[in-house]
Structure 1
Amino acid sequence: MMRIAVLAVAFLVSSGLSVANAQTGDSEKRPHIIFVMADDMGWGQTGYRNHPVLKTPNLDLMAANGLRLERFYAGCCVCSPTRASVLTGRSPVRCGVLTHGYALRHQEKTLAQALKDAGYVTGHFGKWHLNGLRGPGAPILAEDTYGPGHFGFDEWVSVTNFFDVDPLMSRQGKFEQMEGDSSEVAMAEAIKFLEKHKDGDKPMFAVVWFGTPHSPFKALDDDKIPFGNLKADSENHYGELVAMDRSIGTLRSALREMKIADDTLFVFCSDNGGLPRIEPDTVGGLRGNKGNVYEGGLRVPAIIEWPSMIQPRISSYPACTMDLFPTVADVLGLPEDVFVKPLDGVSLKPLFTDEIGPREQPIGFRFQKQAALVDNDWKLVTSNREQDNKFELYNLKDDPHEEKDLAKAKPDQLAKLKSAYQAWDAAVEASFAGKDYAAGKLTEPDPEPHYWTIDPRYEKYLPEWKDRWEYRSYIQKVLKK
């Protein structure tokens, strides 16, 4: 136990950042920042990774001109937790976001809040899924205290969860019927935001969270044409990704037309690993899928493009969504108090200019009974973290598909990673209990996740929405009771 306690302290200490010394120049030179995230897109679903049927020419161009991260991990193997990790730099378990549909705690500090305080104008567009509501994406209510506006976003056009063709969205509480593919709708709103503010005196932060290619799968007819020989779900799934890739191209062109491309830090990634039962394979041959902590459930495509600062290359440095907030803070020289600590992320700023050595801080994951710890080439995995004999050990360099469990062959390495995991896990438990916050405890209970169809605030909309294809089955269950 003493060794575990010492390691826990080491994790807490190593979670700090030396952002105070970052040199960014005057305020006019601060970059614009854009985060774009797919929903359920697997590691193998890009043209640059030679997917057998999907072409992604715009992501391929972005990868060819930016930093392509081949070992990038989502904060969790499902969506809401990863979104929390992006905004906080912390394991989602620390934030109380245990699985999909959980709300982000008000006591957390977000990247959007930090950038807003630093003089940025901030906007969110698309899927939110951090307000405790489950079910298909519905317009976020103006009075929802867990919506984007309460976590640092000045402007937002958002929905609660996944959304598809012709979505009904909320512009800061005002409902609007949109037309077209969901990715292109969200991107069009983000571009309007950028055009509105590009000549202002504030740099811009835009977050675009797609609902693609999450189920239910519904693509535009023209986008399905290349996949006509596939089953319907796969055909629509890949058709959605065609439109998503096109929206990436629209954004990159718009940045060039606005003459801000060189000065924009643009990050693309997915929120968790790829889906099973979609053909061809979504995860590039990795083991596992969304919902588990093997590589296929956690490793996702990721690219960082910043033409004036990043020379194009491919990196195998193990990075994660928790690193994004610390990276931006390092780039801008933000003070340490923008974070709730401990952090689980580290700054990737040194990686922008050169390869860096092994990652000093392992990356921990927890989801339900599952857990994993990635420590450079080594990975610890368990399907039941409560049972000591359930831990598996893999060398990802030699065995990227996690086929050969080395737990018995490498007992010393297994013990080392288990000790590190237990230290991290103990720190995460303390965070979950609220020990990290200024009050030393939770000041309000975590909202109970529930479907918006049974939320009294949405009750008056059910008769009007009951015939919408994306809501019909959910609302019928409620109206029949």
Structure 2
Amino acid sequence: MRKIIQNLKYIFLTALLPATISCQQQAEEQAEPNLPNVVLLLGDDHGWDETGYNGHPYLHTPVLDEMAAGGLRLDRFYSASPVCSPTRGSIITGRHPNRYGTFTPGYSIRPEEISIASLMKAAGYATAHYGKWHLGPVKSSSPTNPAAMGFEEYLSHDNFFEMDPPLSRNGAEPVIFEGESSEVLVDEARKFMDKALEQDKPFFVVIWYGSPHEPYSGTEEDLALYADLPEDFGDRMVRLTSNETGAPVERLQREVLQERFAEITAMDRSIGQLRDYLDETGQRDNTLLWYFGDNGTPQEGNATVPFREQKGSIYEGGIRVPAVLEWPARIDQNMISDTHAVSSDVLPTLLDILGSDLPERPIDGISLLPLFETNMDQRPEPIAFWNGRPRNGGEGLEDYIDPELQKGTTPLVKLMNGIATRNFRNYQYPDIREEDFSGPRALLDNQYKLVIHGDTGEDARRELFDIHADPAEENNLMDHHPEIAGKMEEQLRAWQQSVLESLTGADYK
């Protein structure tokens, strides 16, 4: 890359650059040779409590523990949503998922959204996605597949997967990749990184694991690590998907946790394999490696969650997740941060590192770069959460994308209506109605968290928590601080108005 840039400078000094050079070529030529590589890792249904460094009594996560001990440990990191697809949209866009109709699993992103991968590609990065996509089908005809969102290469799945995952390479028919799925993804990602290094380009690689989402499985070696869980641990029946039939089944939680923990340990090991690769290629120091979960622990895995509720809830148990980050060139000592951060912060943070401007539309995340430099101990603006839902379940609304293009192709174990694939939807919103403001919602500032359930108006149920003094959200302070709650509700309502304006498509005009 250094030789290329020197040659370009020479050409520019001796002759004018041809006017026909494309914008994409210009962006690539202007890329700095010392830009950091970026690797984003996302666990599927991996809750805050399920790491050794957060005090889990049985789980083995030595790699994440090492990252937490040597890099930046984000102790108050949140997923933008308590379920997976919306959080993934927030990472890609820096925006709350309700802005573009990705309300819950099964709802796609919209083609007009500006993706962090597209922005990184324009800055000269080689871009690739591996694993769970869940923002629309990954087939080649989908207008919301990873390629449409700026990833030059992808090996991806519409939804989640287990051992021997069926994956689509760049939109082709899915093919079975034999092996432990987390290790499969990292092995394929390393091949892409090799090519990027040969081309002297920085790489932006996104690895979204299928683990530890149910149904669970593991290698014999990983299962053996948890063969002797105490008899009083997980001593209840839980409901999940059968690996044999794809239908719901009830099992003893302790047996389920053995398999779940095995998946987490395998995922952790694959992160270690990735770090070893970065060491071997001399890329470790200048690679920003960021891991976090996409939502809280699901009901069948809930055995040690210290917070209120679990996946699907806007209480802490549904949205507070583990997060660790390494970047030795910029973070050369251990840092533990209690500053509130959220998955929507990824795009603004990376653009700040590049010195690039934010897209000209509402962005809900903020840059965490000052936090890396120990210049931010409080968040300058609150985080808003909204577990939204389509109006009338979508009845009466027009499809945003042709339903044929929203049909999935990659199979998974869990059957839905007897089908092993998943289809997606997204709706047009021509107007804003009062009912659109309903649904579980919350506003989190540096001390308090306002939680509102139900419809709008006096019938809504409101709670206020001092989130640092009461992380389990047990003591409702509404009667003690009505003025604080009232001001926060006004802020939340104004933010919802902005979100709904985006949902009508106003940002694309």
Alignment of 1:131-210 (within 5 A): 131=136, 140-174=138-172, 175-210=174-209
- Superposed CA deviations along residues 396-422 of structure 1, whole A, max 9, x for unmatched, are 111111000001111111111111111
1:340–1:82 distance in 2 versus 1, CA, 3 Å = farther
**Rounded Cα–Cα distance in structure 2 between residues aligned with 1:357 and 1:65:** 19
Q: Per the alignment, in what secondary structure is the counterpart of residue 382 of structure 1? A: strand
**Rounded Cα–Cα distance in structure 2 between residues aligned with 1:51 and 1:401:** 17
Does 1:436 find its partner at 2:435? no
In structure 1, the residue matched to 2:482 is 411
- Superposed CA deviations along residues 92-130 of structure 1, whole A, max 9, x for unmatched, are 111211101211101110000001111111000000000
Does 1:45 find its partner at 2:115? no
In structure 2, the residue matched to 1:324 is 346
- Greater displacement, 369-378 / 196-205: 196-205
Contact 1:109 1:340 survives alignment (8 Å) = no
Q: Write the letter of the residue equivalent to 1:173.
A: G
Deviation at 1:277, TM superposition (A): 2.8
- Superposed CA deviations along residues 243-299 of structure 1, whole A, max 9, x for unmatched, are 000001001111000100100111100101112232532x3x011110000001001
Q: Per the alignment, in what secondary structure is the counterpart of residue 49 of structure 1? A: coil
Alignment of 1:218-257 (within 5 A): 218-229=217-228, 231-257=254-280
Deviation at 1:178, TM superposition (A): 0.6
Q: Write the letter of the residue equivalent to 1:81.
A: P
Deviation at 1:356, TM superposition (A): 1.2
Q: Per the alignment, in what secondary structure is the counterpart of residue 150 of structure 1? A: coil
In structure 1, the residue matched to 2:320 is 299
Deviation at 1:429, TM superposition (A): 1.0
Structure 2 stretches lacking a partner, 5+ long: 1-29, 230-253, 389-438
Q: Per the alignment, in what secondary structure is the counterpart of residue 204 of structure 2? A: strand
Deviation at 1:229, TM superposition (A): 4.0
Q: Write the letter of the residue equivalent to 2:312.
A: G
Q: Per the alignment, in what secondary structure is the counterpart of residue 47 of structure 1? A: coil
Deviation at 1:177, TM superposition (A): 1.6
TM-score, normalisation: structure 2: 0.77
Does 1:426 find its partner at 2:497? yes
**Rounded Cα–Cα distance in structure 1 between residues aligned with 2:454 and 2:220:** 44
Deviation at 1:354, TM superposition (A): 0.6
- Superposed CA deviations along residues 166-206 of structure 1, whole A, max 9, x for unmatched, are 11111113332211111111111111111221232321000
Contact 2:31 2:123 survives alignment (8 Å) = no
**Rounded Cα–Cα distance in structure 2 between residues aligned with 1:167 and 1:26:** 35
Deviation at 1:355, TM superposition (A): 4.5
In structure 2, the residue matched to 1:455 is none
Deviation at 1:385, TM superposition (A): 4.5
In structure 2, the residue matched to 1:57 is 62
In structure 2, the residue matched to 1:289 is 310
Does 1:356 find its partner at 2:376? yes
Does 1:97 find its partner at 2:119? no
TM-score, normalisation: structure 1: 0.82
Does 1:401 find its partner at 2:401? no
Q: Cα RMSD over matched residues?
A: 1.4
Q: Write the letter of the residue equivalent to 1:348.
A: L
Q: How many pairs are equivalent?
A: 403
Contact 1:380 1:417 survives alignment (8 Å) = yes
In structure 1, the residue matched to 2:462 is 391
**Rounded Cα–Cα distance in structure 1 between residues aligned with 2:455 and 2:162:** 36
**Rounded Cα–Cα distance in structure 1 between residues aligned with 2:457 and 2:193:** 50
Match of 1:36 among 23, 26, 41: 41
**Rounded Cα–Cα distance in structure 1 between residues aligned with 2:42 and 2:496:** 27
Deviation at 1:376, TM superposition (A): 1.1
In structure 2, the residue matched to 1:107 is 112
- Greater displacement, 180-189 / 30-39: 180-189
Does 1:312 find its partner at 2:334? yes
Contact 1:108 1:340 survives alignment (8 Å) = no
Q: Write the letter of the residue equivalent to 2:445.
A: D
Contact 1:157 1:172 survives alignment (8 Å) = yes
- Superposed CA deviations along residues 293-320 of structure 1, whole A, max 9, x for unmatched, are 0001001001111001013210000000
Deviation at 1:360, TM superposition (A): 1.8
Q: Write the letter of the residue equivalent to 2:315.
A: Y
**Rounded Cα–Cα distance in structure 2 between residues aligned with 1:164 and 1:49:** 26
**Rounded Cα–Cα distance in structure 2 between residues aligned with 1:70 and 1:243:** 23
Q: Per the alignment, in what secondary structure is the counterpart of residue 285 of structure 2? A: helix
> Larger Cα Rg: Structure 1 or Structure 2?
2
Deviation at 1:358, TM superposition (A): 2.3
Runs of 4+, deviation exceeding 4 Å: none
Contact 2:75 2:336 survives alignment (8 Å) = yes
Contact 1:168 1:176 survives alignment (8 Å) = yes
Q: Per the alignment, in what secondary structure is the counterpart of residue 156 of structure 2? A: strand
1:156–1:178 distance in 2 versus 1, CA, 3 Å = same
Deviation at 1:143, TM superposition (A): 2.2
- Greater displacement, 214-223 / 382-391: 382-391
Contact 1:53 1:280 survives alignment (8 Å) = no
Deviation at 1:332, TM superposition (A): 0.3
Contact 2:302 2:310 survives alignment (8 Å) = no
Alignment of 1:336-351 (within 5 A): 336=358, 339-351=359-371
**Rounded Cα–Cα distance in structure 2 between residues aligned with 1:43 and 1:221:** 26
- Superposed CA deviations along residues 441-469 of structure 1, whole A, max 9, x for unmatched, are xxxxxxxxxxxxxxxxxxxxxxxxxxxxx
Contact 1:72 1:302 survives alignment (8 Å) = yes
Q: Higher relative contact order at CA 8 Å, sep ≥6: structure 1 or structure 2?
A: 1
Deviation at 1:145, TM superposition (A): 2.4
